[in-house]
Amino acid sequence: MPVSRRTFIHSTSALFASTLVSSSCLSYALSQEEQSAHDEVTKLSADFTLTFASPYNTHEANYIPHMHQVFKHHVETMSQGKIYVDIQDGGRVGSGTDLMAAVTRGRVDAALISVSNLSRALPVLDVLNIPFWASSNQAFLNLISSNYWQQQVVNQIKTQGVVEILFHYITGGRTLSTTKHTNKVIKTPNDLRGLVLRVPASKVLKQFYSMTDAHVIELKWDKVASMARSGHINVLDPGVIGLYAGPDQLRESISTISHFNSVPDAWVNVVNQQWLSQLPLPLKLIVREAAHHTFLNQISRLSEIENNCNLAFQQAGCTLFTPDNELMAQWQDQFGQHRHEWRDVKKQLVGSVKAFNILLEATNTPSKYQLG
């Protein structure tokens, strides 16, 4: 007899509640040797292995909300050991567009990828990179937890049959940050004149910054630190968490950070649908429910992690700048979603201006979830 989603989730939630020990769950409390032994037993006894790839290091969880061990714990515990999660962290499988290719082609089963680097394969996600409409953490949370986002974006991606979004990460808004070679605080759009600004693989971000007087170049994430050190780029736009988490010690090349929160520096956890389709229905539901619990854990720690990153940059001698309302109005007037330059982009990405306006309205509709 088929198991209903409601009945099954109720039973797995009860199991979850009885086994979870806050953020210091079993895998956290064990020594490294004990954890390795426990991990090996879990791996050998599991029916399925989920290989999860991430560009970030597991041990930096207090500064990077990657949730590696939390996701692993939820999946393994809620599946009662039937699914083993093999974490391939630190960019071992690649980062950026390379990681996107790895998960879409099935080289790995799931991955943590930025929305911008997924936007070439899943263009609808690039709508998030239209500036100044879903950039605050609360607005972004409201949006992604809305029914319309789930129906028009998440479900449409799922119907393509390649990957499924398990959950969104909220990691703060994008900044405009300069390298030590440049050492210039960006306050107004004019401050970008003549500077080389790196963008990820997002057509919308490229269009946004091309509306300024900066020289815009697309550059792979794993090349950014070396180009920053050599002085080939002046400005980059990740959020403060992304700047701290960047590969090849990118954080050591940052001099100033301007918190404009232009667009959400969003990540997603995506799973390859071919891998997911091999699971029996109860285990499919468990993977999705485990992902949901991981999402709730992630948003509960967001403020703490953002503060940790800001403090780390301050202690390293970086200048952190937060624009006042007058400066923000200047940026929003010149580049915001209301501009005519974005009309065709909205149509291309979500079908119509009307559909975009429904998404915009969703950013102002309170979510049932709470940010930590």
Q: Which CATH number is 224's domain given?
A: 3.40.190.170
* pLDDT score at 42: 86
Kindly state whether residues 194 and 295 are assigned to the same domain: no
318 and 182, same structural domain? yes
Asked if residue 273 is part of any domain, the answer here is yes
Residue 127 has pLDDT above 60, yes or no: yes
Residue 243 confidence (pLDDT): 98
Question: Which DSSP letter does residue 340 get?
Answer: G
Residue 369 resides in a domain: no
The model's pLDDT over 217-253, given as tens digits with 9 standing for 90+, comes to: 999 999 999 999 999 999 999 999 999 999 999 999 9
Per residue in 47-64, pLDDT (tens digit) is 999 999 999 999 999 999
Contact 248, 225 (CB under 8 A): yes
| pLDDT attached to residue 29 | 52
In terms of domains, do 166 and 193 share one?
no
Is 209 in the same domain as 322? yes
List pLDDT tens digits, range 294-307.
999 999 999 999 99
**Cβ neighbours for 167, distance < 8 A, ≥ 6 positions apart:** 268, 269, 291, 292, 294, 295, 298
Measured CA to CA, the distance from residue 285 to residue 110 in angstroms comes to 16
Domain contains 57: yes
Q: What is the pLDDT of residues 10-42, one digit of tens each?
A: 444 444 343 343 444 444 455 677 778 888 888
Q: What is the percent of the chain where pLDDT is above 70?
A: 92
Band the pLDDT of 169: cuts 50, 70, 90.
Answer: very high
How many CB atoms lie under 10 A from the CB of residue 290?
27
Count of domains forming the chain: 2
Whether residue 274 is predicted with pLDDT greater than 70 in this model: the reply is yes
**So what's the pLDDT on residue 295?**
98
pLDDT of residue 263: 98
| Predicted pLDDT of residue 35 | 77
Q: Is position 284 within any domain?
A: yes
Same domain, 280 and 208: no
| 259: number of Cβ within 10 Å | 19
Q: Are residues 228 and 293 in the same domain?
A: no
Q: Do 320 and 291 have their domain in common?
A: no
For helices 302-315 and 281-300, give the axis angle rounded to 10 degrees. Answer: 50
Q: Are residues 329 and 248 in the same domain?
A: yes
Is 114 within the bounds of a domain? yes
If asked whether residues 32 and 101 sit together in one domain, one would say yes
Task: For residue 198, tell me if it sits in a domain.
Answer: yes
What is the percent of the chain with per-residue pLDDT over 90, rounded to a whole number? 86
Same domain, 322 and 243: yes
In this structure, of 82-91, 116-125, 148-157, the range with the lowest mean pLDDT score is 116-125
DSSP-assigned letters across all residues of 23-69: TS-HHHHS-HHHHHHHHHHHHHH-SEEEEEE-SS-GGGTTT----HH
Same domain, 221 and 331: yes
Per the structure, the complete domain to which residue 17 belongs is given by 5-122+160-170+266-300
Domain final residue pick, 243, 278, 300: 300
Residues comprising the chain, all counted: 372
pLDDT mean over 78-82: 98
What's the confidence (pLDDT) of residue 9?
42
Within a domain: 204? yes
105 with 210, same domain: the answer is no
pLDDT > 70? residue 6: no
- Asked whether residue 153 is domain-assigned, the answer is no
Q: How far is C-alpha 156 from the geometric centre of its chain's CA atoms?
A: 19
